[in-house]
Structure 1
Amino acid sequence: NELSLRLDASKSADKERARLIESSGEIGRKAKELEQARIQAQDLAAKWINNSALELAAKLIDGEECIVCGSTNHPHPHEGSPTDVQREELDGARALVARIEASLTATREDHQRIVEVIKELNKKAGADTASLQIAYDDIDTQVVAAKQAGDTASQLRKDLAESRSQIEKYKTQIASDHVKIAANTKDIENKTAEIERLSQLIQQARGSFTSVAERRESIATRQDHIRHIIKAITAFEDAHSRCTEAAAVMAKALANSAFASANEVQEALLPQAEINALEEQISNYNLTKRQAGATIEETERSGLVRTEYPKPLTKALSRLRRIHEEATSTHALAKNALAQHEEQVGKLRAGIENLQTLEKELGPIRRLAELAQGARLEDGTPIPFDTWVIMRQFERVLEAANPYLERFSTGRYQLRRVSLDASRKSQQAGLGLAIIDLNTDTERSPASLSGGETFYSSLALALGLVEVISSEAGGLDLKSMLIDEGFGSLDQDALDKVMIGLQRLRDSGRTVGVVSHVAEMQQRISDGIEIKHAKSKGSTLVIHAAD
């Protein structure tokens, strides 16, 4: 427009004025150079003329004509000292003067042209650059504002149309929401009552615990206790083996003795005082026997003893000797049997003392083993210890999975461990699974769930298992998950909730992979690999990535 042209002319005039200033400076500089060159040329010319005059004066001869004036008289010949100036130097100085004069003339002509250009540009501009720039900026601002206003008006018209359309949708949605609000209000009342009921159940189940952390600490303590029980069972089994060996030794000792049982041995054992008294009687008997034998031998040697006795005495003596021999033999047998019995009694005493020591050592261990083997189900059915441990871990997995399942099912379902699952023919006691339907307050079999419900229930179990493993694996964290199929069985609402749950899982730092044929999944997931099948070329991979 005209103002823009005037502003351009004014800016060009400013540039030309800058050139004019430079040109003026150049003219002054060249004028000084010309003056200096002229002075130098004049000086060289004077010196060269002086030299020429001296040369002519030297050639003048009285009576001969001067080659300059033709006079034959030479009253005043030139005098002076010659200088070292050549003709070439003088010609060079004069040529330099000519060049500077030509350059100065060209610069002055260019200076005059710049003056004429500035006059013409000032005539076109009609004002100074600052004033024109202010006017131009003001007009440009108005143009931009007008354009923005036009764009805003266009966008407002578009937004108005969209808003009207959205208002109609909102009206429809509000009408639908009023219906849902009424239903949700009733549902909230039911769930509030259910929450109160569950809170009471939680309070009852929590027992003396004041928090979940305290309960976990108690579980950790019980786990340590169980580990000690396992060690105690191992020690008990070792001690039991030692007891078995001791019992075998005792049984062998009983078999070689006259006793039928260890109780008879205990009953046959005499107090130490009585044993000492019997040993003293035996010693006295042996001493008396030796003394009697010595007396008999001495009497026989003295001849005072009769060698022949009356028959009644002879018979009586024979009978007494026979009785004595039988008594001596019986005494020897009894002494030998007593020694054997004392040896067996010593072994039995050592075995009994060993058993008593083992009973003292293994008493607590036996009680722990009985406690470990005393695990039972809710109905009183005994279960192995390892099943009891797995059952408690299974309950932890269900506890971690239920928040996911409640989110996926909009608070309808929960998982609960039961003793037996009627839908499964083969299972271990105590490890059954049931679905709690909070809408109807009933317990259902997992087999009664629909395909979509089965899928997100399985997904919730998998997520709960991941949390339990991560919390108990000593710092091991499962960073990746791959879910294969199953999304096609979900309705729109369930799919939305499952996707929100997976997105939260991804935001927590885990990588979640999904394998699916559902087309909507591609729209929901920004990063992925799509496999396209071609009839003649096999399959092609297409990689999608977020910007």
Structure 2
Amino acid sequence: MRLHRLEVAAFGPYARREIVDFDALGADGLFLLHGDTGAGKTTLLDAVAFALFGAVPGARGQVKRLRCDVADPDTATEVALELSVQGHRLRVVRSPEYQRPKRRGQGYTTQQATASLAWVGEVPHGQPAEGITRIDEVSRTVQRLLGMNAEQFFQVVLLPQGEFARFLRADTTEREQLLERLFGTERFADAERWFRELRTERGRELERRKQSMREWLARLAQVAREEPPDDAGNAWVAALKERAAGVAAAAREEDREASAARESADATLQERRTAAERVRRVRSAHQRLAALEEQAGERTKWAAELAAARRASTVTGLAAEADRQTERLERAERSEVAARTALVAAGFEEPDSPVTVLRERAGSWREEAGALAGLVGEAEQQQRDRNRLRDLVETATYATAQATAISEKLQGLPERAKELRLQRDQAAEAEAKLDGVRLRESDLTSALADATGLPGLEAAVGDAADVERAATDAHQSAKAALLDLRERRLAGMAAELAAGLGDGSPCPVCGSGEHPAPATATADSVGEAEETAAAERERAAEERRGTAFTARHEAEAKLAAVRDRLRGQTAELLDEQLTAVRGELAQLADLAGRKAKLAASVAAAEAEHDELMAERARSERDAGAAEEQRRALSERVEERAQRLDVARGRFADVGERREHLVALVGALDELAEARASRAAAKERLDQQLAAVRDAARQAGFDTVEDALSAARTEARVGELEQTLSDAEKAAAAARAVLAEPELAGVSPDEVVDLEPAGLAAEQARVRAETAVAASRAAVQREQEMDSLAQRFAADLAALAPAEEEFAELDALTDVVNGRGQNVRRMSLRSYVLAARLEEVAAAATIRLRSMSQGRYSFVHSDAAGSRGTRGGLGLDVLDDYSGAVRPAKTLSGGESFLASLSLALGLADVVAAETGGALLDTLFVDEGFGTLDGQTLDVVMDVLDELRAGGRVVGLVSHVEELRQRIPTRLRVRKAREGSTIELEGGLTAA
């Protein structure tokens, strides 16, 4: 991957469009982004990252606020990057989401994020010639071409020194998180999780098996009705089966004996019941015949009554119809009287006139009422129009009064709206000031906290200095003691060598096999163990001295930072200022809080004014329209009143006169109809009475009254017929029973006793049913016992292999997850990461030894941590000067920078190789050079020069002035192409 050109507009501190030509900058393979702190050096790296991935590294990416605050509203925020990767040249353009002022009206609107990718030159196979415009497609294409994601790119190409300094001093967990992101070991974490989930699943399955065994034992115990022993197994189950089989056999034998006894008792009882039933039937037949003989006289009377009722049935129907005709005649006579009374009441003076006269008079008056029907409608409309006239007068009066009242309300409304608008503007101004006052409050609060903690920081600096002096003295004492011991050991080295001589063995100094006068040890001789112990005490003292030095340096730095922020302000002065600012903030917040309510009041006042104006206009229009309608309607009412006065005659109005005529016509028609109906009913009644008399004579009765007295209801006739028929059937049935052969010789006085036989049969039945139930229960228990025993034996046989399999899986899962028999406490994922970290340490050591002139090397450790914590990710430093392995935390500031840079470069090489990514032809190193002395800076620059081998371009980001002297100058700000240094001043840059 090689960068060619970068363009930024309204991005970060860059308000205008700025261009960086990387081809010109990287002509020598090494260039510098130089400028004061805050000039915008790192923003250019953020722009590169944003163009590729739509995100910026580190904490800056969490803010998501990329637009320049001072950019022109019409200048769009945009980043364009042109680069080559895998033989293809492309141009990526991105714009983030941000808020811009609305082009119409007040407020802000959201400008949506956009992205595009265009191919420069030849289009790759399978890619659209017009490029890509979807944000997600652009990100996927860039990641596929680079072979790494955003997190890996930030670590490999934009080397962040601060993060690698933290990586050096991090614990196992933090180091593991970073390495996981870079090397993508999620599949190994998935494997660990798969083992854990499989163990959980198999554990649950094993527990289900054990629970099944417990359930089978419980069911066996329930069937056997006994508690299972603690060691219940196949032997106990076999004993249960044997006992159940014996109980079932005894129950079946009892069932056979009880069944035979029941059959014998039932047969005896049935014989007694048959004899008793025969006696009962004979006795019942004799009793029935005797009863029928006693009722013979009554049956003769019933037969005569039934015959007379059947003859009278032909007369009763005709007599009933004559009664109905009589009722119709009476109703017709009553209707005629009522109709005559109604006609007289209506004012007709000749109610006894013939029917023809009545019908003629009704027809004449009906025609007259029809002629008045049209005028009735006009009379009703006349009344409605008069009511309408009154309504129009009231409407005109009300509308005129309403317009006058509205005019009075409109007089004071403009002044009130003006006052509300003034108050609303004051609230808006207070709201605009709130952010500034809140910022002042926040600054003063932080400053007051600094001023309050200043004495503590000063005391901490003094304490740290005291600790450092004590540590320095202790270290110097330990070092002096070590040197003294070494001198004493050297002085007694001859005696130490002589102690190892033996007869015939060569001397390690002269080679002679004879030792005439070997040296002897003196009282103050020192051995190797004492020297080693002294060296260990000196090293520990040096570590404490370094720790004390670092603590004192950090305390002084904190104190200097706080004093710089305070700039001489005291806590009392800051407290007074904070109190005043908070008072002002409360006033502004209270006033700003009323802005919405005041704005609503202004809008309501303006709306009320418009509404009142419209209502007054409507009231004036309504008054004029009502008066015009009243004049037109009044003329029509007067003309119609003249016609209606002629038509109504002596009545109150036309409708009353028509109603009178209609009532007379109705009364006349009703009386005529009633007289005709009465005459027809009288004729039909006379005919029906003659028919009834003829029917009575034909039925054999002297008079109609004799026939009606002999008549009976249908229910009584049916009852007589049924009674006579039942008597005949009962006599025949009783004679038939006595004639049966099996009843021959049976006396009705014979007595049969059933109680002894019934008692014996009941006892036999109870015994048999009890035996059957016991036999069925015993057999069922035996069968259930056999079934449960088979299932228990099968589950018991399958449980042992499952337990062995789970034990093996449990041990393997513990090993994979860094527990159990895993003595190093390393999980599978940690093991893989440890191998990657070992590769990183080897790659980083090459550069670290070069930059530290052979003094330091990285040492990877896979030992378990303290207190049994996970290991595998230990990273220390080997100091060749002392031959000791030191924690990375003991390195000085400059040494930490060298170690961090070496680690970053080594990790970049390993990650690039691991991900199979494109060749990284462009690399950026961000800050950290200010901690190096001149000699070390030369060594670092030599290493960076080596990175340029093969055409790689290295960009340095720093404010260190000395770097400007070391990198040849051919390009500067706002000048032609003169060198390879970019100077950033006040957030402005040029290419």
Whether these two folds match at TM > 0.5 is no
Higher Cα Rg: structure 1 or 2? 1
Determine which structure has greater relative contact order: mean sequence separation of CA pairs < 8 Å that are 6+ residues apart, divided by chain length: 2
**TM-score, normalised to structure 1's length?**
0.43
**TM-score, normalised to structure 2's length?**
0.25
